């Protein structure tokens, strides 16, 4: 396949995205637009100078600038505009279902009401469902560098909007903040009927993945790269069909891998792990879904069967109804039957 043929094939694949932080889709142009609208002065004098800052040596360096960008989000319209910009972008890449994270504490810690944050996001998601035919699930993430008490306050604030939220997750600085730190709030979240996921094994060890499974009782691992360090863990993931939401360009930019050729997704597929491709924080890491598929496929020389498997895995691992999963998986297979 030539690069152009590969790009054309990837463009046509019906896709789902399961690991996307809405605040991480904040493109510099929109950030400046909203900053100007809200009379906030950014630490950068232009879009170009802001983009130059998007060079990270680790997760923490990225998080520092991620939280800085979020400071300009003040009103419901800001959160609506942020989410709508993401949806229109992924619609152009043939993404048909999204399961996105939002970080309420990033905003409530600044004095922004939970209702302001979720209302803007939810209204954009509903508009996307009606006008772009993109179905969605919404996941509320707890920030692991903050206390479990803070997470409990977030859970309490979410209760009036429970019908809008499908699950809870765990993100932010992984090292030194093991999943077990949040055992109680995850148990309380499960009692409220939320589905459970957690970031684990990105920078943290395979032990963190075990904790997420055994202590938090999660049903899907976000990242999970380090699972390959532990054969017993790999066996567990395969037997229990626990999906990994991998984010290749993110892994490259945050130095989780040295080069794209080192990415473990092909090995994971070979072993039978339910691995999926996602973009994580696309505004900061150089690409949305199609770019992640393309750079991964190019570096690892993935064939059409592997590309099809990744797309199918995305639907398998989603929180759609079984009927909807089947419908989309048939569409993926039908599409690949037309690809020469």
Residues 216-244 pLDDT 10s: 999 999 999 999 999 999 999 999 999 99
Average pLDDT over residues 147-163: 98
CB within 8 Å of 125: residues ≥ 6 apart? 83, 87, 100, 136, 138
CA 30 from chain center: how many Å?
Answer: 20
Distance CA 264, CA 286 (A): 19
| pLDDT score of 64 | 84
| pLDDT score of 340 | 73
Instruction: Assess whether pLDDT exceeds 90 at residue 195.
Output: yes
- Residue 275: pLDDT band (50, 70, 90) is very high
pLDDT higher for 308 or 52?
A: 308
Instruction: Assess whether pLDDT exceeds 80 at residue 52.
Output: yes
- Residue among 202, 219, 291, 295 flagged as catalytic: 202
| pLDDT score of 60 | 83
Bridge partners of 141, per DSSP, are 169
Residue 147 has a CB neighbour count (10 Å cut-off) of: 14
Q: What distances in angstroms separate CA 241 from CA 221, 233, 295, one per listed residue? A: 11, 12, 26
* Residue 126 designated active-site: no
Average pLDDT over residues 263-283: 97
Q: What angle do CA 216, 219, 225 make, to 5 degrees?
A: 90
Instruction: Assess whether pLDDT exceeds 90 at residue 183.
Output: yes
Distance CA 28, CA 50 (A): 7
- Residue 194: pLDDT band (50, 70, 90) is very high
Average pLDDT over residues 118-132: 98
Domains, the chain, ordered by start: 3-10+27-338 (3.20.20.140)
Statement: the pTM of the whole predicted model exceeds 0.85: yes
Q: How far apart are the first and last CA of the chain?
A: 10
What's the pLDDT tens digit per position in 58-105?
888 888 888 888 999 999 999 999 999 999 999 999 999 999 999 999
């Amino acid at each position: 396949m030539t690069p152009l043929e590969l790009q054309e094939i990837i463009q046509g694949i019906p896709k789902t995205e399961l690991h996307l932080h809405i605040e991480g889709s904040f493109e510099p142009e929109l950030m400046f637009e909203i900053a100007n609208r809200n009379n906030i002065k950014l630490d950068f004098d232009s879009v170009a100078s802001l983009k130059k800052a998007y060079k990270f040596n680790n997760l923490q360096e990225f998080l520092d600038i991620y939280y800085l960008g979020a400071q300009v989000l003040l009103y419901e319209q800001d959160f609506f505009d942020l989410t709508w910009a993401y949806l229109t972008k992924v619609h152009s890449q043939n993404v048909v279902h999204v399961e996105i994270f939002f970080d309420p504490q990033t905003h409530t810690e600044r004095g922004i009401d939970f209702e302001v944050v979720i209302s803007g996001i939810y209204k954009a998601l509903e508009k996307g469902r009606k006008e772009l035919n993109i179905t969605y699930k919404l996941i509320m993430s707890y920030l692991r560098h903050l206390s479990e008490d803070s997470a409990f306050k977030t859970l309490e604030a979410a209760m009036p909007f429970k019908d809008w939220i499908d699950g809870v997750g765990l993100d932010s600085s992984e090292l030194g903040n093991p999943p077990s730190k949040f055992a109680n709030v995850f148990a309380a979240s499960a009692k409220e009927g939320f589905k459970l996921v957690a970031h684990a094994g990105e920078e943290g060890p395979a032990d963190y993945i075990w904790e997420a499974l055994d202590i938090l009782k999660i049903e899907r691992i976000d990242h999970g790269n380090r699972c390959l360090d532990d054969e017993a863990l790999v066996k567990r993931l395969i037997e229990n069909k626990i999906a990994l939401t991998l984010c290749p360009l993110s892994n490259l930019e945050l130095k989780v891998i040295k080069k794209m050729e080192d990415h473990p997704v092909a090995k994971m597929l070979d072993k039978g792990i339910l691995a999926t491709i996602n973009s994580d924080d696309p505004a900061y890491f150089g690409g949305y879904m199609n770019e992640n598929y393309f750079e991964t496929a190019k570096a690892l020389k993935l064939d059409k069967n592997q590309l099809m498997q990744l797309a199918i895995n995305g639907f398998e691992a989603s929180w759609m109804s079984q009927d909807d999963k089947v419908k989309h998986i048939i569409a993926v297979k039908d599409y690949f039957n037309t690809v020469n």
